[in-house]
Structure 1
């Protein structure tokens, strides 16, 4: 375990000093053999009310008496993007990842990997307030994320939604980790599906929001450096050891289930059946889509559901390629397990499995969207087997649109994170 921890540390810091032997290019066959062995070992290890006034989603973590609860790890991620409506004079282009994890109801850890802060003399203070807002509704960017998030467990001195300051360095970057004893990923008042926002000034100011993001479900993050184009055996061994360590850890600490431990409030609650839940997903083009497809799909998907009734999705999308090569106009719609956009649509995980789905449906399959001659979709669909909340609900997961129909295995052309919203 000490060796694995050392390897992790080397990988996370990007150290050039390797604790592993560097294989020469002539040993590619040996390299491949070692990788294959690691894969086999890893595979073996894997076997061993509104009532219409309340727009918060009615969520809480599973019963604290559940024997698995205290050791269950919950993961979330927020991919920060610049505020499209930020005053142009500020010249910030903040982007990057915020990764979160929490065991049971223990402290919530946030790891920040951000860049793009303006480092000119006019912005020499380098302190930027960090806030949580009620909603993860990005229909109009950071302008529709709602009021500051109120949590009754916040420290007495804290303003609603106030998480203190981030301090960017001389390069306009933030690489830091913070912990919060009063935040939870789940719960009715948890942060899943809400948004994080960064201010131009410090947390005591009321300055402009310069960047924001939706908090989505995620899995364990190892922050491993990508393998370079040159065949780097060290990096591959690190990946193999990371897989083994992750699997062993899952077995020892019940981390194999990275879904968040959520369910809706007790159906006996008198307000439950009449409670409206709202969610929203702001579709964006897949940055890693093959360039030959020429789709630039964007727009809003709005959702609402009363109690456990049918979930309604309203689509307002544009940007589908309408050339002769794409005359079929049918595009598969899918739900994926995670709302982790660290690498765009490449990190949203496997297709979402729901045991209540129709027998004929493939995991995550929501059928087809049909765009018109203008490359637009304006329609409404209902799903009797989906819920916004619940442990297996859609909140914090992602929607994805395919190049081809729902029976194809074509490229994802757009995706989005499902966040909390209010009445539309």
Structure 2
């Protein structure tokens, strides 16, 4: 890594500014067709029937529904509860119901009209308030010390409620994927942040051996978390169409489709109580985070855990209670998004408020006390490099991935990793 004061060139900089970088939509394969998605216009409805009329579609058009899936109807992430295609019910506007492929992008768009879906609309749940009485998608609780007693004995208790709304990633390049079926396996090339997620989803959906699925990440035109989970769904969709028509298939969303159909930042309600002594010392933290997960769980458990852990801020709390729930609404699934405002908003604003009340100084000038002890900054490696099996990221039979999601400083700085040893005894360094 270069030192402070240096200006290292971006490894991908010249290719991008010169126009040499090839994004998904710059790539064309021989005989390639294009795919499009039939989407629900309803937030909640029963699917009565799906009819495809080949005579009303461009010649050769193929159509895929949930009835045509070769394996389980689920995108494998933390679990497989997110359907590949809606079957029986739709749970959000723009949920994929069917897929079509045709020789050109225009023909694929025209073919959408040849798929007729009969719906029975049902009452949707659209807000956190409406969802509060329903079973959550996920919940988590962290607690240490006697929070109620600490708050009862505090000189000051500062309480607040914050609300955040949906936020769109608005990456420059929309979601895109190319899939090819050949030699009994699958190859996909696309815009993604987590190739191993995509690989796992394809292996699960098509019930294939791992070595029969190949995933390549193209140049990525922005992600910000929005290309962590959703490329898994799009890769499975493109691969289904490639399997159905026997040709490579490209699927690239336009901006409207990308916004209505892909994941967003979770809307949330955050309730926060902070108890302090008259000299400004922290006594207790009591926080609750309610997140709108949308229709399916996807990566919401990871996001919720980040929110609760960030609610501590850089402070040492003698007593703390953090509670969180991901609630289900009939909206598109919400998922990863860079940053963690649900925890950091109260942990940043509440200490300034109580410190101002305790000392009388303006909030902008207040500093918190006491600082974390030196022990808070000491860490040891949880998994030594020589350990043969360090957890789910380690596969003794296959070795280890040389690069992992979230590793390094990003595409703007040099970032390397190596692996050594035989497949059965490989270790990271």
Q: TM-score, normalised by structure 1?
A: 0.24
Structure (1 or 2) with the greater helix fraction: 2
Largest Rg, 1 or 2: 2
Structure (1 or 2) with the greater strand fraction: 1
Q: TM-score, normalised by structure 2?
A: 0.24
